[in-house]
Structure 1
Amino acid sequence: MSDAQLFQYANTTALCCWVILILIPRRAAPILRLVVPVGMALLYIWALTTAPANPVGGFGSLAQVKALFAQDRALLAGWVHYLAFDLFVGCWMVLDAPEHKLHRLLVVPCLLLTFMFGPAGLLLYYLLRLAARQRYVASQ
């Protein structure tokens, strides 16, 4: 299977998981938070360990990081890294929301934002939690 095919497979898997997570969150989250990130982790490790070496790549500068992702296989590894962590965060939000008395429909925008823009969705979720906490404290 080519890197481009693996990229498509990982993207399609992630998209399907996000749809399932939004439609049936409490049933899906416990399974998705383990199975899919583990599968993605295996793909990530494979891609990372089989990518051609890039002697100018590194983490010391933006140019070095850019050089790391110059190879398709390394870029695939980086993308799968994002997909796995964002989905894990989405599952965590779904499982965390009931503890903070957050209605599932309030969490949906956070999930969509996390799917598209990762940390921005997490920030929105934290702000939602904070607002719910302040509302609870004010009602006491």
Structure 2
Amino acid sequence: MAWDLIFGITNSFALLMWLILAFAPRSMMILTGLFYGGVGLLAFTYAVIIIPLMTGLINGGGAAADFSTLAGVQQLLSSPGGATVGWIHYLAFDLFVGIWVARNADKYGFARWIQIPILLFVLMLGPLGLILYLLLRFTRHNKVADAVMPE
């Protein structure tokens, strides 16, 4: 399987989706397109690859996946197929979180110039970007429950 090609295409596609999220107007049409056309397509690509990869129908996964040990996960991610599908997993979930952060930040009135660095952290460091946003969001609430519940 052409793992480098799949990696390159999905990586470039995700970067385009992030640029749209950061800089395009956030109309319902654009957000819907990012959600279904961005996250949905990445998730679909993941699903199309992971099932035959894990069952051995396509080459590139190495030995049978063992998610119960660190060694098993390392072995899976050390193969070209495992690394590619793992990266697509990150791309899909990080974009999903980025869309939530952007929509929520708009809802609570955070300016785009504040959002963009946080979105960059979500893109590059996933959970760290989410924590930064949640800490920022905490500054806009009087009650702790309002600051931490994802709406």
Aligned-pair CA distance for 1:50: 2.2
Query: Mean Cα displacement is larger for which, 75-84 or 101-110?
Result: 101-110
TM-score by length of 2: 0.80
Tell me how far apart the structure 2 counterparts of residues 98 and 22 of structure 1 sit (CA, whole Å): 12
Provide the secondary structure at the position in 2 that maps to 1:133: coil
Other-structure match for 2:44: 42
Other-structure match for 1:26: 26
Residues 18-97 of structure 1 mapped to structure 2, 5 A cutoff: 18-27=18-27, 28-51=30-53, 52=56, 54-55=63-64, 57-97=65-105
Name stretches of at least 5 consecutive residues in structure 2 with no aligned partner.
Answer: 143-151
In the alignment, residue 45 of structure 1 is paired with which amino acid? A
Matched, 1:125 2:133: yes
Residues 1-42 of structure 1, C-alpha deviation per residue, up to 9 Å, x if partnerless?
711101000000011111111111513333202211111111
Contact 1:114 1:121 (8 Å CA) reproduced? yes
Q: RMSD of the alignment, in Å?
A: 1.9
Tell me how far apart the structure 2 counterparts of residues 119 and 99 of structure 1 sit (CA, whole Å): 21
Matched, 1:105 2:107: no
TM-score by length of 1: 0.86
Q: Which stretches of structure 1, 4 residues or more, deviate above 2 A after TM superposition? A: 27-30
**Identical residues among aligned pairs (%):** 35
Residues 83-117 of structure 1, C-alpha deviation per residue, up to 9 Å, x if partnerless?
01101111111111122222222111110111111
| Higher relative contact order structure (alpha carbons within 8 Å, sequence separation ≥ 6) | 1
